[in-house]
Structure 1
Amino acid sequence: MKTRTKVILGVIALVVLVGPFAVPVNTSGTLTNKEAAALSWNGESEFVELAGHEVHLVTAGSQQSDRLIVLLHGFGASSLTWKEVLEPLSSIGFVVAYDRAAFGFTERPTTIGEVNPYSSLGQLQVIDELVSKYGQGKEVVILGHSAGGALALGYALDHPEKVQKLILEAPAVYGSGGAPSWLNWVFDIPQLDHLGPLAVSSIASSGLQILDSSYYNKDLITDQVVANYTAPLDVIGWERAFWEFNKAPRSLGLVERLDQLSVDTLIITGDTDEIVATADSVRLNGELPDSTLQIIVESGHLPNEEKPLEFVEAVISFLAK
């Protein structure tokens, strides 16, 4: 009986330890990132080597302008979120909108080097290299939406000498940071790491629910808007990259540093934001030393998409001060 028990326990252990590796983890993507980018941007975008990987970006305006405007999208979005405001903003500066690691059409590294491109540290490095590449001798404006707003704020806190103006649209300041550090050991379990991409693949459907909650006027969620959010899911390996993003440390330590911000700041929010509560933007405006708040009425989490004219007007007015 003892031998039989040992055999049974051994089989159970084998199933638990080895079984997960027998589960196929495939990708639903069928295109390379460059093929997908060409379809969405009609070949008008480009790829630039930054922080050790190829970053997809689109530009508008003259590179000779004395102002650089860098656009950072939020969670689950891409540079496509800025399509309606790129040209209007290019009238006041050289605009660079790029895809953050794990999103859009930026390269999705599968081998993590010294700096994890999916971590906040890696993403801040991309911003810094963008500013160095395009911002020499220019007024630098960093504009970030939602989780991109948190990164923009983090960069301005780290490099106040490099940023002249900061614009935060529905910034996710009070609830960002990724997985808590005490969970790191869980992500290191090989079996879980193997199955991780399957666990996060549900974003393909749940992401559309988030998009619906992001708009005040649901009639504005056209087939093209939906396509802008689903196109990156055609990229081979998007699930693995999204899993790596969820594993990566993203704490920026923003809240305890808010009173240290020395950059002139504009906060833009919709009056019915259900993703980052409008009240959070109001609170942030009260806690920053030098900020202005612009609330766009009849707008949710994405004023830049839902009310592009009002959004651009707010940005231009702020930068004209």
Structure 2
Amino acid sequence: MQQAVSLLHNNQVMRGMAHIPLTDHKEAPAVILLHGFTGSKLEPHRFFLKISRELEVLGIASFRFDFLGSGESDGNFEDMTVLNELAEAETILDYVRSHPSINSEKVIVLGFSMGGLVASLLAGDHPEKIEKLILLAPAGNMAEKAKGMEKNSTYIKDVNAYDIGGNLIGKDFIAQLKSIEVWERAKYFERDVLIIHGSKDEAVSIEESKDYQEKCYQGKVTLRIVTGADHTFSSYQWEKEVIESICSFVK
């Protein structure tokens, strides 16, 4: 059963979708899906929706929200930062764990692209609340990308932000990226991790997934490389391979 849900964070509304399987079991496992930079709860080619539907067939619930400033949620994109999204993800995690239809001990977090960075920090900060972690093309080294944003974008003084393809990126977002110790924070999650990355991803280097594997999750991680795939796994076969890997991992 799919239904619209909303959640209050700092007096602003995050809007999302909950997929709750109709089963005889009172409490279902759940997956939280965290979207990427400039993304939404749907993601390209309705990728997140398709994942949620397949999980529901397996009797697994899922929750996918737009971060504040993205999609249909309140807020402005120029106010978005990684740590703001992390705080929003904490609110989502607590909501899902307290949901009457969900088994609080079986909550999995999935993050795509920059959502993967947020997911890795969330799991590292709250390892006792998360059963498993899934990272799709995770952007671990955003600090390097921030330098390029500053160099190659137009700064608009009136809003204290950079114009990147029509999206306003606040100065705080860029400054903060340079100070986050991703590997140090992420390594405290010591349960099972699945990382999936396309071999021809030009947006986030596959080396970033290998960094997660080597610097954070040695011995407890499976790295799956989808041959030929781009950043968003934008073909039927690539998408199918990713969804099958996710379903196999969570069940």
Q: Does 1:319 align with 2:246?
A: no
The change in CA–CA distance for 1:69 and 1:100 in structure 2 (over 3 A counts) is: same
The change in CA–CA distance for 1:286 and 1:245 in structure 2 (over 3 A counts) is: same
The answer (yes or no) to whether the contact 2:116–2:135 under 8 Å persists in 1 is yes
Paired position in structure 2 for 1:165: 132
Percent of aligned pairs with the same residue?
Answer: 24
The change in CA–CA distance for 1:246 and 1:122 in structure 2 (over 3 A counts) is: closer
**Using the alignment, how far apart are the partners of 2:136 and 2:90 within structure 1?**
20
**Using the alignment, how far apart are the partners of 1:244 and 1:176 within structure 2?**
13
Where in structure 2 are the equivalents of 1:252-271 lying within 5 Å? 252-271=180-199
Pick the aligned partner of 2:9 from 41, 50, 73.
Answer: 50
Task: Report the 3-state secondary structure (helix = DSSP H, G, I; strand = E; otherwise coil) of the residue aligned with 1:107.
Answer: coil
TM-score, length basis structure 1: 0.62
Q: Segments of 4+ in structure 1 off by > 6 A?
A: none
Where in structure 2 are the equivalents of 1:112-123 lying within 5 Å? 118-123=80-85
Higher helix share: 1
The answer (yes or no) to whether the contact 2:132–2:191 under 8 Å persists in 1 is yes
What displacement does 1:246 show? 3.8
Paired position in structure 2 for 1:286: 214
The change in CA–CA distance for 1:89 and 1:244 in structure 2 (over 3 A counts) is: farther
The change in CA–CA distance for 1:179 and 1:163 in structure 2 (over 3 A counts) is: same
Instruction: Give the number of the structure with larger relative contact order, counting CA–CA contacts within 8 Å between residues 6 or more apart.
Output: 1
Pick the aligned partner of 1:275 from 203, 219, 226.
Answer: 203
The answer (yes or no) to whether the contact 2:37–2:115 under 8 Å persists in 1 is yes
- List gaps (5 residues or longer) in structure 2: none
**Using the alignment, how far apart are the partners of 2:20 and 2:53 within structure 1?**
7
TM-score, length basis structure 2: 0.77
The change in CA–CA distance for 1:45 and 1:300 in structure 2 (over 3 A counts) is: same
**Using the alignment, how far apart are the partners of 2:171 and 2:12 within structure 1?**
15
Q: What is the RMSD of the two structures over their aligned residues, measured on CA atoms? A: 3.1
> Number of paired residues?
227
The change in CA–CA distance for 1:123 and 1:259 in structure 2 (over 3 A counts) is: closer
Q: Which amino acid aligns with 1:127?
A: A
Pick the aligned partner of 2:62 from 79, 88, 95.
Answer: 95
The change in CA–CA distance for 1:246 and 1:284 in structure 2 (over 3 A counts) is: closer
The change in CA–CA distance for 1:173 and 1:57 in structure 2 (over 3 A counts) is: same
Q: Which amino acid aligns with 1:249?
A: Q
What displacement does 1:284 show? 2.3
Higher strand share: 2
What displacement does 1:195 show? 4.5
What displacement does 1:52 show? 2.8
Task: Report the 3-state secondary structure (helix = DSSP H, G, I; strand = E; otherwise coil) of the residue aligned with 1:303.
Answer: coil
Q: Does 1:62 align with 2:24?
A: no
Decide which structure has the larger Cα Rg and report it. 1
What displacement does 1:286 show? 2.6
Q: Which moved more, 1:66-75 or 1:124-133?
A: 124-133
The answer (yes or no) to whether the contact 1:178–1:249 under 8 Å persists in 2 is no
What displacement does 1:68 show? 1.5
The answer (yes or no) to whether the contact 2:124–2:187 under 8 Å persists in 1 is no
**Using the alignment, how far apart are the partners of 1:276 and 1:285 within structure 2?**
15
